[in-house]
Amino acid sequence: MKKLLLAVVCICMVPAADHAAGKQAPQRQADLCAVPPGAPPMLPAKLLPGMGTTKHFPVTAKSEEARKFFLQGVSQIHSFWFLESERSCSQAAEHDPDMAMAYWCIALSAAGDYRPAFQLLRDPNEGGRRSAAPAAGPNPEAVARTTKGLALNPATRAREAIQKAMDLRDKVTERERLYIEAQAARRLTADRAAADAGYIDGLRKLVAAYPDDLESKSMLGLALDNGFEPVTNEPRAHTMEAIALLEEVAKKDDDHFGAHHYLIHAWEGSKTPEKAWHACERYPQLVPNIPHALHMPGHIYAQSDKIPEAINAFSSAAINELTWLNADSLYPNGHHGHNVHFLIHALNLGGQYQESLKRVQHLFTFRETPNERNSTNVRVTWRQGYFGLIKTLVRFEKWDEILDPKTIPAHDQPEQKAWRHWATGLAYAAKEQMVPARAALADLQKIIDAGTREPVKIAGLELAAAIAGRSGDRKKAYELFRTAADREAAIIYTEPPSYPRPAVEGWANVALAIGDHATAERAYRETLVREPGSGRAFFGLAAALEAQGKAAEAREVRTRAANAWANADRDLPQMRGVRSTTVAGER
């Protein structure tokens, strides 16, 4: 594979006015021999294999090289590879400084909000929109810039790029002008809701004027995709319109990898994720060298009883992304962290404890930078490993390991402390050591009282419920479990889930442990609605059925459990008595 050709460039973060005048700022910051988050990618770009081929996007350009890099940038933006898309289109602008659509592509890439609409609803720490940049922005003379004059702030850079495209729009076709004006509506409008609405209106105008333009139709579908409500899995407004547009594009051109990618996102969190299976097959075939393209099918497979396929998708993506990380010292590792975190989630579902831990340790090799350590960002790669460790230990009920102080690293940020208290409290409660369990709950509650995210608040409810249930107060326990389960289910959809496992699974485990088998049965069935094909829930359900004398149904469920965990670690408690020959013969 061709490697990216990059060099580390020192960027002086000083006001542009002082830099231009040759004056030294009163309190000049140290040079940063690295690209700050959101800073422009360095050139030259290269034409790379496996990006996908954008075939039907005529564009005004004076240079064939500019056209090639632009089309590569469009292909990369279809896979949300924002850094590389901006690099490619910046290279196009180098070849043709008057190429208006090159600046349109830079604006589309740099802003980082070219994603399904529902993703922008999230907590910024879960991948939502971080800020709504004002239309006018700060005084251009006070913007931190590279030595080439490019803004370090991505929102500013996107705004300035689309303004340049607008200045050049009289030199392009009517179709290109509509693309530019739609993006300008999003970048040059101060009110965020009005900006997004203006962008969609501009795309609708483009689609109406050029109904055979599949690129604009797929982009409109992405912009309209509001996803599904987390509790009911019913579509929000415009979601089905988005899906219809994307399916129309894919039907007309089964090679349109953008439409297949967006369809995978569009069916996430729905009642029928299997409707994206064809897209899951085609997308990585068409884009074999972008990690996100290899990763995305795993989203759907993890939701639709295809856990081995999910593990394969995430594993393939991880291998591919490591080649890019090794080729470029400035390549950001955040997506790799997300991918391996999701792999850990899928391995948990598949009953593979040892492999889960191996992947956790891999993420721990990405040490936090000083800035990351002082931030509250939960999507830092090392912290995704930390969360992966917590969820793995709890899901596999490794209580002794949790209570070993060497297992879970100490961390000084509140959220990581909170998850450690949660896991520790559950472990003590499971071992019927209620005094230290309540102490862990008290420590967790202090963090909650100081202000924290919804998942941590739910963790406090679940831990209190587990303590109450194992102390004999079923009424209080079940009321708390019900509240925790409902609030956890109502969290805006994220991938992987922002809670370690369905709270109702914890309820089922406690009910089974205290001998309330009817409640355990109901809770495990609810867990299976949340996570179809969960071997862990099937095993628990089988145990609850057996305890109630429902032997025939229990045997059937246990067979499904064994099939679901065909690749699980053989030393797990649930796997005792499961014969591999039976599993193989019944698959």
The pLDDT value recorded for residue 579 is: 61
DSSP state of 145: B
Q: Are 413 and 376 within 8 A, CB to CB? A: yes
106 close to 158: Cβ distance less than 8 angstroms: yes
pLDDT given at position 3: 38
**Local structure of residue 493 (DSSP, 8 states):** P
* CB-CB contact of 382 with 367 (8 Å): yes
- Contact 447/421 with Cβ under 8 angstroms? yes
Query: How many Cα atoms occupy the beta-carbon half-sphere of 388 within 13 Å?
Result: 34
Instruction: Please answer whether residues 277 and 300 qualify as being in contact, where contact means their C-beta atoms are separated by less than 8 angstroms.
Output: yes
- Output the pLDDT for position 16: 35
Phi-psi group of 112: left, alpha or beta (phi > 0 → left; psi -120 to 50 → alpha; rest → beta): left
Q: What is the CA angle 399-401-404, rounded to 5?
A: 110
The CA angle 212-215-219, to the nearest 5 degrees, is: 120
Instruction: For the chain, state the CA radius of gyration.
Output: 26
Amino acid symbol at 175 = R
Helical ranges in 64-173 per DSSP H = 64-78, 82-95, 100-110, 154-167
CA 280/CA 465 separation, integer angstroms: 39
What's the CA gap between 38 and 425, in Å, rounded?
Answer: 39
Please give the sequence-ordered ranges of beta strands (E in DSSP) within 453-503, or none if there are none: none
pLDDT digits (tens, 9 = 90+) for 108-158: 999 989 999 988 876 555 555 554 444 455 565 678 888 888 999 999 999
**Torsion sign across C-alpha atoms 178, 179, 185, 188:** negative
Low-confidence residues in the chain, pLDDT < 50: 1-35, 131-135, 580-587
Ranges of each domain in the chain: 16-327
**Encoding tokens for residue 335?**
């997506």
- Do residues 379 and 343 touch, judged by C-beta distance below 8 A? no
| Length of the chain measured in residues | 587
CATH topology assigned to domain 16-327: 1.25.40
Output the CA–CA distances (angstroms, integers) from residue 60 to 171, 177, 207, 239, in the order listed.
Answer: 8, 11, 19, 33
Count of C-beta atoms within a 10 Å radius of residue 551: 10
CA–CA distance, 310 with 320 (Å, rounded to integer):
16
Looking from the CA of 380 toward its CB, the CA atoms found within 13 Å total 21
217 contacts 241 by C-beta, under 8 angstroms: no
Check if the beta carbon of residue 202 is closer than 8 Å to that of residue 182.
Answer: yes
Q: In whole angstroms, give the CA distance from residue 69 to residue 396.
A: 48
Question: Do residues 495 and 507 touch, judged by C-beta distance below 8 A?
Answer: no
DSSP helix/strand/coil, 365: coil
CB 356, CB 510: distance < 8 Å: no
- Which phi and psi angles does 514 have, rounded to 5°? -95, 5
